[in-house]
Structure 1
Protein backbone atom coordinates (compact mmCIF):
# COMPACT_ATOMS: atom_id res chain seq x y z
CA UNK A 1 0.00 0.00 0.00
CA UNK A 2 2.99 2.29 0.47
CA UNK A 3 3.52 2.66 -3.23
CA UNK A 4 -0.11 3.74 -3.63
CA UNK A 5 0.31 6.41 -0.97
CA UNK A 6 3.55 7.54 -2.63
CA UNK A 7 1.84 7.72 -6.01
CA UNK A 8 -1.02 9.78 -4.55
CA UNK A 9 1.46 12.17 -2.93
CA UNK A 10 3.33 12.58 -6.22
CA UNK A 11 0.10 13.32 -8.07
CA UNK A 12 -0.95 15.87 -5.46
CA UNK A 13 2.47 17.53 -5.54
CA UNK A 14 2.33 17.72 -9.31
CA UNK A 15 -1.17 19.20 -9.19
CA UNK A 16 -0.15 21.84 -6.64
CA UNK A 17 2.99 22.71 -8.63
CA UNK A 18 0.86 23.22 -11.72
CA UNK A 19 -1.45 25.63 -9.88
CA UNK A 20 1.56 27.57 -8.59
CA UNK A 21 2.85 27.82 -12.17
CA UNK A 22 -0.50 29.18 -13.32
CA UNK A 23 -0.59 31.70 -10.46
CA UNK A 24 2.94 32.98 -11.19
CA UNK A 25 2.22 33.28 -14.90
CA UNK A 26 -0.98 35.20 -14.26
CA UNK A 27 0.82 37.49 -11.82
CA UNK A 28 3.30 38.45 -14.54
CA UNK A 29 0.43 39.49 -16.79
CA UNK A 30 -0.47 42.36 -14.49
CA UNK A 31 2.14 44.38 -16.38
CA UNK A 32 3.43 42.05 -19.15
CA UNK A 33 1.31 41.15 -22.19
CA UNK A 34 1.02 37.41 -22.94
CA UNK A 35 3.15 36.54 -25.96
CA UNK A 36 0.85 33.66 -26.97
CA UNK A 37 -1.76 31.27 -25.60
CA UNK A 38 -2.00 27.50 -25.45
CA UNK A 39 -4.72 27.59 -28.10
CA UNK A 40 -2.62 29.78 -30.40
CA UNK A 41 0.36 27.46 -30.08
CA UNK A 42 -1.81 24.43 -30.83
CA UNK A 43 -3.26 26.12 -33.91
CA UNK A 44 0.19 27.20 -35.09
CA UNK A 45 1.35 23.59 -34.85
CA UNK A 46 -1.77 22.34 -36.67
CA UNK A 47 -1.41 24.82 -39.50
CA UNK A 48 2.37 25.11 -39.82
CA UNK A 49 3.99 22.13 -38.08
CA UNK A 50 7.79 22.60 -38.31
CA UNK A 51 7.72 25.36 -40.96
CA UNK A 52 9.49 28.58 -40.02
CA UNK A 53 7.00 30.78 -41.84
CA UNK A 54 3.37 30.56 -40.77
CA UNK A 55 0.10 32.25 -41.69
CA UNK A 56 -0.98 32.67 -38.04
CA UNK A 57 -1.72 36.37 -37.40
CA UNK A 58 -1.64 38.16 -34.06
CA UNK A 59 -1.18 41.84 -33.24
CA UNK A 60 -1.53 43.27 -29.73
CA UNK A 61 -3.71 46.36 -29.29
CA UNK A 62 -3.93 48.29 -25.98
CA UNK A 63 -7.37 48.48 -24.38
CA UNK A 64 -7.81 52.21 -24.97
CA UNK A 65 -7.04 51.75 -28.68
CA UNK A 66 -9.97 49.35 -29.19
CA UNK A 67 -13.32 50.75 -30.30
CA UNK A 68 -16.04 50.84 -27.65
CA UNK A 69 -18.33 49.55 -30.39
CA UNK A 70 -16.33 46.32 -30.47
CA UNK A 71 -16.17 46.03 -26.67
CA UNK A 72 -19.93 46.39 -26.32
CA UNK A 73 -20.61 44.00 -29.20
CA UNK A 74 -18.39 41.30 -27.69
CA UNK A 75 -20.06 41.67 -24.30
CA UNK A 76 -23.49 41.21 -25.86
CA UNK A 77 -22.28 38.19 -27.81
CA UNK A 78 -20.32 36.41 -25.09
CA UNK A 79 -20.98 37.73 -21.58
CA UNK A 80 -23.23 40.73 -21.10
CA UNK A 81 -22.64 41.07 -17.33
CA UNK A 82 -18.90 40.41 -17.44
CA UNK A 83 -18.10 43.52 -15.39
CA UNK A 84 -20.62 42.56 -12.70
CA UNK A 85 -19.95 38.86 -11.96
CA UNK A 86 -16.94 37.27 -10.24
CA UNK A 87 -15.89 34.98 -13.06
CA UNK A 88 -18.61 32.33 -13.10
CA UNK A 89 -22.33 32.47 -13.87
CA UNK A 90 -23.61 29.54 -11.84
CA UNK A 91 -27.13 29.58 -13.28
CA UNK A 92 -25.82 29.41 -16.84
CA UNK A 93 -23.50 26.55 -15.93
CA UNK A 94 -26.41 24.64 -14.38
CA UNK A 95 -28.47 25.11 -17.54
CA UNK A 96 -25.55 23.94 -19.68
CA UNK A 97 -25.07 20.88 -17.44
CA UNK A 98 -28.76 19.97 -17.68
CA UNK A 99 -28.67 20.39 -21.44
CA UNK A 100 -25.69 18.07 -21.73
CA UNK A 101 -27.29 15.51 -19.43
CA UNK A 102 -30.34 15.44 -21.70
CA UNK A 103 -28.12 15.12 -24.76
CA UNK A 104 -26.11 12.26 -23.27
CA UNK A 105 -29.32 10.38 -22.37
CA UNK A 106 -30.50 10.43 -25.95
CA UNK A 107 -29.87 7.28 -27.94
CA UNK A 108 -27.07 7.81 -30.47
CA UNK A 109 -27.86 7.23 -34.11
CA UNK A 110 -26.55 4.14 -35.84
CA UNK A 111 -22.83 4.42 -36.48
CA UNK A 112 -22.48 7.50 -34.26
CA UNK A 113 -20.15 7.49 -31.28
CA UNK A 114 -21.55 8.61 -27.94
CA UNK A 115 -19.53 11.35 -26.31
CA UNK A 116 -19.91 13.38 -23.13
CA UNK A 117 -19.70 17.03 -24.04
CA UNK A 118 -19.56 20.20 -22.00
CA UNK A 119 -20.77 23.28 -23.81
CA UNK A 120 -22.24 26.66 -23.08
CA UNK A 121 -22.39 28.56 -19.79
CA UNK A 122 -18.82 29.89 -19.99
CA UNK A 123 -18.04 33.50 -19.10
CA UNK A 124 -15.36 35.57 -20.80
CA UNK A 125 -13.00 34.80 -17.90
CA UNK A 126 -13.63 31.06 -18.28
CA UNK A 127 -13.03 31.26 -22.02
CA UNK A 128 -9.82 33.16 -21.33
CA UNK A 129 -8.67 30.52 -18.82
CA UNK A 130 -9.19 27.80 -21.40
CA UNK A 131 -7.49 29.72 -24.22
CA UNK A 132 -4.48 30.74 -22.14
CA UNK A 133 -3.60 27.41 -20.57
CA UNK A 134 -5.78 24.50 -21.63
CA UNK A 135 -6.77 22.49 -24.68
CA UNK A 136 -10.05 22.47 -26.59
CA UNK A 137 -10.75 18.97 -25.28
CA UNK A 138 -14.10 18.84 -23.50
CA UNK A 139 -14.35 16.83 -20.28
CA UNK A 140 -15.13 17.38 -16.62
CA UNK A 141 -11.51 17.30 -15.43
CA UNK A 142 -10.58 20.09 -17.84
CA UNK A 143 -13.66 22.02 -16.75
CA UNK A 144 -12.56 21.74 -13.12
CA UNK A 145 -9.09 23.04 -13.94
CA UNK A 146 -10.69 25.83 -15.94
CA UNK A 147 -12.65 26.94 -12.86
CA UNK A 148 -9.49 27.04 -10.74
CA UNK A 149 -7.68 29.17 -13.32
CA UNK A 150 -10.76 31.39 -13.61
CA UNK A 151 -10.57 32.06 -9.88
CA UNK A 152 -6.86 32.90 -10.12
CA UNK A 153 -7.50 35.28 -13.02
CA UNK A 154 -10.31 37.09 -11.22
CA UNK A 155 -8.29 37.40 -7.99
CA UNK A 156 -5.14 38.68 -9.71
CA UNK A 157 -6.17 40.82 -12.68
CA UNK A 158 -8.63 43.68 -13.01
CA UNK A 159 -11.73 43.23 -15.15
CA UNK A 160 -10.41 45.69 -17.71
CA UNK A 161 -7.10 43.81 -17.94
CA UNK A 162 -8.93 40.49 -18.34
CA UNK A 163 -11.05 41.94 -21.13
CA UNK A 164 -7.97 43.45 -22.81
CA UNK A 165 -6.17 40.09 -22.83
CA UNK A 166 -9.32 38.33 -24.08
CA UNK A 167 -9.80 40.73 -26.99
CA UNK A 168 -6.15 40.29 -27.96
CA UNK A 169 -6.06 36.50 -27.75
CA UNK A 170 -9.45 35.15 -28.83
CA UNK A 171 -9.71 33.40 -32.20
CA UNK A 172 -11.39 35.33 -35.04
CA UNK A 173 -10.81 32.96 -37.95
CA UNK A 174 -8.34 30.30 -39.04
CA UNK A 175 -4.96 31.53 -37.85
CA UNK A 176 -6.38 34.93 -36.83
CA UNK A 177 -5.99 35.81 -33.15
CA UNK A 178 -6.87 39.06 -31.46
CA UNK A 179 -8.78 42.11 -32.58
CA UNK A 180 -5.67 43.75 -34.11
CA UNK A 181 -5.28 40.97 -36.66
CA UNK A 182 -9.04 40.53 -37.12
CA UNK A 183 -9.85 44.17 -37.89
CA UNK A 184 -7.00 44.31 -40.39
CA UNK A 185 -7.89 40.96 -42.02
CA UNK A 186 -11.61 41.57 -42.47
CA UNK A 187 -11.90 45.35 -42.84
CA UNK A 188 -8.37 46.70 -43.47
CA UNK A 189 -8.73 49.04 -40.50
CA UNK A 190 -7.51 49.38 -36.94
CA UNK A 191 -9.46 48.22 -33.85
CA UNK A 192 -10.13 51.88 -33.04
CA UNK A 193 -11.75 52.43 -36.43
CA UNK A 194 -14.42 49.72 -36.25
CA UNK A 195 -17.94 51.05 -36.76
CA UNK A 196 -21.14 49.57 -35.31
CA UNK A 197 -21.84 47.12 -38.13
CA UNK A 198 -18.24 45.92 -38.32
CA UNK A 199 -18.06 45.44 -34.56
CA UNK A 200 -21.33 43.49 -34.49
CA UNK A 201 -20.19 41.29 -37.37
CA UNK A 202 -16.90 40.45 -35.66
CA UNK A 203 -18.65 39.74 -32.36
CA UNK A 204 -21.13 37.45 -34.09
CA UNK A 205 -18.19 35.37 -35.32
CA UNK A 206 -16.88 34.41 -31.88
CA UNK A 207 -18.97 31.25 -31.33
CA UNK A 208 -17.72 29.82 -34.66
CA UNK A 209 -14.78 31.93 -35.90
CA UNK A 210 -13.42 29.43 -38.41
CA UNK A 211 -16.85 29.15 -40.05
CA UNK A 212 -17.09 32.96 -40.19
CA UNK A 213 -13.76 33.02 -42.01
CA UNK A 214 -14.00 29.93 -44.24
CA UNK A 215 -17.07 28.06 -45.45
CA UNK A 216 -15.29 24.70 -45.28
CA UNK A 217 -15.57 24.83 -41.47
CA UNK A 218 -19.33 25.45 -41.42
CA UNK A 219 -20.48 21.82 -41.52
CA UNK A 220 -20.53 21.55 -37.72
CA UNK A 221 -21.46 25.16 -36.95
CA UNK A 222 -25.14 25.82 -36.26
CA UNK A 223 -25.19 29.59 -36.38
CA UNK A 224 -26.76 32.20 -38.64
CA UNK A 225 -24.37 35.14 -38.51
CA UNK A 226 -26.72 37.86 -39.89
CA UNK A 227 -29.38 37.04 -37.28
CA UNK A 228 -26.81 37.06 -34.48
CA UNK A 229 -25.36 40.31 -35.78
CA UNK A 230 -28.81 41.93 -35.74
CA UNK A 231 -29.37 40.79 -32.14
CA UNK A 232 -26.01 42.25 -31.10
CA UNK A 233 -26.76 45.59 -32.73
CA UNK A 234 -30.10 45.80 -30.95
CA UNK A 235 -28.55 45.19 -27.52
CA UNK A 236 -25.22 47.03 -27.60
CA UNK A 237 -26.64 50.05 -25.83
CA UNK A 238 -27.58 48.18 -22.66
CA UNK A 239 -24.19 46.74 -21.63
CA UNK A 240 -21.74 48.42 -19.24
CA UNK A 241 -18.05 48.84 -20.02
CA UNK A 242 -17.05 49.17 -16.37
CA UNK A 243 -18.19 47.85 -12.99
CA UNK A 244 -21.40 49.50 -11.84
CA UNK A 245 -20.73 51.46 -8.66
CA UNK A 246 -22.95 50.49 -5.76
CA UNK A 247 -24.73 53.42 -4.06
CA UNK A 248 -23.22 54.30 -0.70
CA UNK A 249 -25.51 53.82 2.27
CA UNK A 250 -26.09 56.85 4.45
CA UNK A 251 -26.98 56.90 8.13
CA UNK A 252 -28.66 60.30 7.75
CA UNK A 253 -32.40 60.35 7.42
CA UNK A 254 -33.79 62.48 4.62
CA UNK A 255 -35.95 65.32 5.85
Structure 2
Protein backbone atom coordinates (compact mmCIF):
# COMPACT_ATOMS: atom_id res chain seq x y z
CA UNK A 1 0.00 0.00 0.00
CA UNK A 2 2.87 2.38 0.76
CA UNK A 3 4.37 1.71 -2.64
CA UNK A 4 1.03 2.34 -4.33
CA UNK A 5 0.64 5.55 -2.31
CA UNK A 6 4.12 6.73 -3.35
CA UNK A 7 3.41 6.00 -7.01
CA UNK A 8 0.05 7.81 -6.81
CA UNK A 9 1.74 10.74 -5.07
CA UNK A 10 4.43 11.01 -7.74
CA UNK A 11 1.84 10.77 -10.51
CA UNK A 12 -0.24 13.52 -8.90
CA UNK A 13 2.82 15.74 -8.38
CA UNK A 14 3.94 15.16 -11.99
CA UNK A 15 0.49 16.06 -13.28
CA UNK A 16 0.43 19.26 -11.22
CA UNK A 17 3.91 20.28 -12.44
CA UNK A 18 2.94 19.52 -16.04
CA UNK A 19 -0.33 21.45 -15.95
CA UNK A 20 1.12 24.44 -14.09
CA UNK A 21 4.04 24.58 -16.53
CA UNK A 22 1.73 24.36 -19.54
CA UNK A 23 -0.55 27.15 -18.30
CA UNK A 24 2.42 29.33 -17.34
CA UNK A 25 4.00 28.95 -20.79
CA UNK A 26 0.72 29.93 -22.43
CA UNK A 27 1.00 33.30 -20.76
CA UNK A 28 3.47 34.11 -23.55
CA UNK A 29 3.10 31.30 -26.11
CA UNK A 30 -0.14 31.25 -28.12
CA UNK A 31 -1.91 27.87 -27.98
CA UNK A 32 -1.92 26.11 -31.35
CA UNK A 33 -5.38 24.64 -30.79
CA UNK A 34 -7.88 23.82 -28.05
CA UNK A 35 -9.70 20.74 -26.81
CA UNK A 36 -12.93 22.01 -28.35
CA UNK A 37 -11.27 22.65 -31.73
CA UNK A 38 -9.76 19.16 -31.74
CA UNK A 39 -13.19 17.68 -31.05
CA UNK A 40 -14.77 19.83 -33.78
CA UNK A 41 -12.15 18.74 -36.32
CA UNK A 42 -12.99 15.10 -35.57
CA UNK A 43 -16.71 15.82 -36.01
CA UNK A 44 -16.07 17.80 -39.21
CA UNK A 45 -13.97 15.03 -40.76
CA UNK A 46 -16.65 12.40 -40.13
CA UNK A 47 -19.65 14.51 -41.13
CA UNK A 48 -21.41 14.22 -44.46
CA UNK A 49 -20.76 16.58 -46.05
CA UNK A 50 -17.47 17.38 -44.41
CA UNK A 51 -16.68 20.97 -43.47
CA UNK A 52 -13.57 22.94 -42.59
CA UNK A 53 -12.63 24.08 -39.10
CA UNK A 54 -10.87 27.43 -39.31
CA UNK A 55 -8.98 29.48 -36.75
CA UNK A 56 -6.32 32.18 -37.05
CA UNK A 57 -4.65 33.83 -34.10
CA UNK A 58 -5.04 37.58 -33.67
CA UNK A 59 -2.97 39.44 -31.09
CA UNK A 60 -4.80 41.55 -28.50
CA UNK A 61 -3.59 44.80 -30.07
CA UNK A 62 -5.22 43.77 -33.36
CA UNK A 63 -8.65 43.11 -31.82
CA UNK A 64 -11.15 45.95 -31.70
CA UNK A 65 -11.74 47.34 -28.19
CA UNK A 66 -15.45 47.12 -29.01
CA UNK A 67 -15.12 43.35 -29.42
CA UNK A 68 -13.40 42.99 -26.06
CA UNK A 69 -16.08 45.10 -24.41
CA UNK A 70 -18.91 43.20 -26.16
CA UNK A 71 -17.91 39.80 -24.76
CA UNK A 72 -17.51 41.23 -21.27
CA UNK A 73 -20.94 42.86 -21.53
CA UNK A 74 -22.59 39.70 -22.81
CA UNK A 75 -20.72 36.91 -21.03
CA UNK A 76 -19.13 38.19 -17.82
CA UNK A 77 -19.72 41.74 -16.61
CA UNK A 78 -17.72 41.18 -13.42
CA UNK A 79 -14.67 39.97 -15.38
CA UNK A 80 -12.39 42.90 -14.41
CA UNK A 81 -13.03 42.35 -10.70
CA UNK A 82 -13.43 38.63 -9.97
CA UNK A 83 -10.75 36.00 -9.45
CA UNK A 84 -12.22 33.41 -11.79
CA UNK A 85 -15.68 32.78 -10.34
CA UNK A 86 -18.84 34.89 -10.13
CA UNK A 87 -20.36 33.56 -6.93
CA UNK A 88 -23.48 35.74 -7.15
CA UNK A 89 -24.31 34.28 -10.58
CA UNK A 90 -23.60 30.78 -9.28
CA UNK A 91 -26.03 31.35 -6.39
CA UNK A 92 -28.71 32.60 -8.80
CA UNK A 93 -28.21 29.58 -11.05
CA UNK A 94 -28.57 27.23 -8.08
CA UNK A 95 -31.74 29.01 -6.97
CA UNK A 96 -33.21 28.67 -10.48
CA UNK A 97 -32.35 24.96 -10.56
CA UNK A 98 -34.03 24.37 -7.19
CA UNK A 99 -37.17 26.22 -8.29
CA UNK A 100 -37.35 24.28 -11.56
CA UNK A 101 -36.78 27.30 -13.75
CA UNK A 102 -34.48 27.40 -16.75
CA UNK A 103 -30.90 27.60 -15.45
CA UNK A 104 -28.92 30.58 -16.65
CA UNK A 105 -25.24 30.31 -17.47
CA UNK A 106 -22.93 31.17 -14.58
CA UNK A 107 -19.53 30.49 -16.16
CA UNK A 108 -17.08 33.37 -16.27
CA UNK A 109 -14.83 34.10 -19.22
CA UNK A 110 -11.97 32.53 -17.25
CA UNK A 111 -13.96 29.33 -16.71
CA UNK A 112 -14.86 29.19 -20.39
CA UNK A 113 -11.19 29.52 -21.35
CA UNK A 114 -10.31 26.67 -18.98
CA UNK A 115 -13.05 24.45 -20.37
CA UNK A 116 -12.56 25.23 -24.07
CA UNK A 117 -8.78 25.06 -23.95
CA UNK A 118 -8.21 21.94 -21.85
CA UNK A 119 -11.42 19.97 -21.28
CA UNK A 120 -14.52 18.46 -22.83
CA UNK A 121 -18.19 19.40 -22.81
CA UNK A 122 -20.41 17.84 -20.18
CA UNK A 123 -21.74 18.35 -16.68
CA UNK A 124 -19.93 15.72 -14.61
CA UNK A 125 -18.44 16.66 -11.26
CA UNK A 126 -15.02 15.49 -12.45
CA UNK A 127 -15.08 17.91 -15.38
CA UNK A 128 -16.35 20.75 -13.19
CA UNK A 129 -13.58 20.05 -10.69
CA UNK A 130 -10.92 20.13 -13.40
CA UNK A 131 -12.48 23.30 -14.79
CA UNK A 132 -12.19 24.96 -11.38
CA UNK A 133 -8.55 23.81 -11.09
CA UNK A 134 -7.55 25.22 -14.48
CA UNK A 135 -9.54 28.40 -13.82
CA UNK A 136 -7.51 29.04 -10.66
CA UNK A 137 -4.26 28.44 -12.57
CA UNK A 138 -5.28 30.77 -15.38
CA UNK A 139 -6.38 33.54 -13.04
CA UNK A 140 -3.19 33.17 -10.98
CA UNK A 141 -0.69 32.98 -13.83
CA UNK A 142 -2.21 35.17 -16.57
CA UNK A 143 -3.15 38.86 -16.57
CA UNK A 144 -6.76 39.67 -17.42
CA UNK A 145 -5.82 41.02 -20.84
CA UNK A 146 -4.23 37.66 -21.74
CA UNK A 147 -7.28 35.73 -20.57
CA UNK A 148 -9.49 37.88 -22.79
CA UNK A 149 -7.09 37.54 -25.74
CA UNK A 150 -7.07 33.75 -25.51
CA UNK A 151 -10.85 33.63 -25.08
CA UNK A 152 -11.47 35.68 -28.22
CA UNK A 153 -9.11 33.45 -30.20
CA UNK A 154 -10.59 30.09 -29.20
CA UNK A 155 -14.29 30.94 -28.86
CA UNK A 156 -16.63 29.37 -31.41
CA UNK A 157 -18.64 31.88 -33.48
CA UNK A 158 -20.29 29.46 -35.91
CA UNK A 159 -20.00 26.05 -37.49
CA UNK A 160 -16.27 25.52 -37.92
CA UNK A 161 -15.54 29.19 -37.18
CA UNK A 162 -13.20 29.63 -34.21
CA UNK A 163 -11.65 32.88 -33.07
CA UNK A 164 -12.55 36.48 -33.73
CA UNK A 165 -10.06 36.73 -36.60
CA UNK A 166 -11.82 34.17 -38.80
CA UNK A 167 -15.26 35.30 -37.61
CA UNK A 168 -14.62 38.92 -38.57
CA UNK A 169 -13.31 38.00 -42.02
CA UNK A 170 -16.10 35.47 -42.61
CA UNK A 171 -19.09 37.56 -41.54
CA UNK A 172 -17.95 41.16 -42.12
CA UNK A 173 -15.10 40.88 -44.66
CA UNK A 174 -12.77 42.95 -42.51
CA UNK A 175 -10.05 42.40 -39.90
CA UNK A 176 -10.93 42.11 -36.23
CA UNK A 177 -9.36 45.46 -35.42
CA UNK A 178 -12.03 47.23 -37.52
CA UNK A 179 -15.09 45.71 -35.84
CA UNK A 180 -17.50 48.41 -34.69
CA UNK A 181 -19.95 48.34 -31.79
CA UNK A 182 -22.76 46.62 -33.70
CA UNK A 183 -20.46 44.11 -35.42
CA UNK A 184 -18.96 43.16 -32.06
CA UNK A 185 -22.35 42.90 -30.37
CA UNK A 186 -23.64 40.65 -33.15
CA UNK A 187 -20.69 38.27 -32.77
CA UNK A 188 -21.11 38.24 -29.00
CA UNK A 189 -24.82 37.55 -29.42
CA UNK A 190 -24.20 34.08 -30.90
CA UNK A 191 -21.72 32.91 -28.24
CA UNK A 192 -24.25 31.12 -26.01
CA UNK A 193 -25.03 28.66 -28.81
CA UNK A 194 -22.96 29.21 -31.98
CA UNK A 195 -24.27 26.00 -33.55
CA UNK A 196 -27.85 27.37 -33.62
CA UNK A 197 -27.45 31.16 -33.48
CA UNK A 198 -26.04 32.62 -36.69
CA UNK A 199 -24.22 35.90 -37.17
CA UNK A 200 -24.55 35.68 -40.97
CA UNK A 201 -28.33 35.14 -40.84
CA UNK A 202 -29.40 36.61 -37.48
CA UNK A 203 -32.83 35.68 -36.18
CA UNK A 204 -35.11 38.08 -34.35
CA UNK A 205 -33.77 36.68 -31.09
CA UNK A 206 -30.15 37.30 -32.14
CA UNK A 207 -31.02 40.87 -33.19
CA UNK A 208 -32.73 41.54 -29.86
CA UNK A 209 -29.75 40.11 -28.02
CA UNK A 210 -27.44 42.28 -30.11
CA UNK A 211 -29.38 45.39 -29.08
CA UNK A 212 -29.29 44.32 -25.44
CA UNK A 213 -25.52 43.86 -25.60
CA UNK A 214 -25.06 47.31 -27.14
CA UNK A 215 -27.06 48.76 -24.26
CA UNK A 216 -24.96 46.87 -21.73
CA UNK A 217 -21.74 48.09 -23.38
CA UNK A 218 -22.90 51.67 -22.94
CA UNK A 219 -24.08 51.01 -19.40
CA UNK A 220 -20.65 49.68 -18.44
CA UNK A 221 -19.08 52.96 -19.51
CA UNK A 222 -17.78 51.98 -22.92
CA UNK A 223 -14.23 50.94 -23.68
CA UNK A 224 -12.93 52.87 -20.65
CA UNK A 225 -13.78 49.68 -18.76
CA UNK A 226 -10.87 47.94 -20.48
CA UNK A 227 -8.38 50.11 -18.59
CA UNK A 228 -9.30 48.12 -15.49
CA UNK A 229 -7.80 45.00 -17.07
CA UNK A 230 -4.26 46.41 -16.93
C-alpha spacing 1:244/1:68, structure 2 compared with 1 (3 Å): closer
Match of 1:164 in 2: 149
Alpha-carbon distance, 1:30 to partner: 1.8
**2:25 paired with 1:25:** no
The Cα shift of 1:9 comes to: 6.2
* Structure number with higher helix proportion: 2
**Corresponding residue for residue 184 of structure 1:** 169
TM-score by length of 1: 0.78
Structure 2 partner of 1:85? 82
Residue pairs, 1:101-250, within 5 angstroms? 101-103=98-100, 120-213=105-198, 224-237=205-218, 238-239=220-221, 240-243=225-228
Whether the 8 Å CA contact 1:37–1:131 is kept in 2: the answer is yes
Q: 1:158-194, CA deviations, whole angstroms, 9 ceiling, x for partnerless residues?
A: 1001110100111111111100010011111110111
TM-score, normalization: structure 2? 0.86
Aligned length: 222
Aligned counterparts of 1:224 and 1:8: Cα–Cα separation in 2 = 55
2:16 & 2:94 partners in 1: Cα distance?
Answer: 25
Deviations 1:129-174 (A, max 9, x none): 0001110111222111111111100110110011101001111111
Aligned to 1:72: 69
1:29 & 1:179 partners in 2: Cα distance? 19
Question: Partner of 1:208: helix, strand, or coil?
Answer: coil
Deviation at residue 24 of structure 1 after TM alignment: 1.0
Moved more, 14-23 or 162-171: 14-23
| Residues 178-230 of structure 1: per-residue CA shift (max 9 Å, x gap) | 00010011111110111221111001011011112399xx9xxxx92111111
Pick which of 206-215 and 163-172 moved more.
Answer: 206-215
CA gap of 1:6–1:90, structure 2 versus 1, over 3 A, is farther
Runs of at least 5 residues in structure 2 that lack an aligned partner in the other structure = none
When Rg is computed on C-alpha atoms for both structures, the one with the higher figure is 1
Aligned with residue 48 of structure 1, among 41, 45, 48:
45
RMSD over equivalenced CA pairs, Å = 2.8
Distance in 2, Cα, partners of 1:183 & 1:43: 20
Mapped to 2, the partners of 1:13 and 1:91 lie a distance apart of: 37
Distance 1:56 1:173 in 2: 10
Cα drift, residue 11 of structure 1: 5.3
The CA distance in 1 between the partners of 2:147 and 2:211, in whole Å, is 26
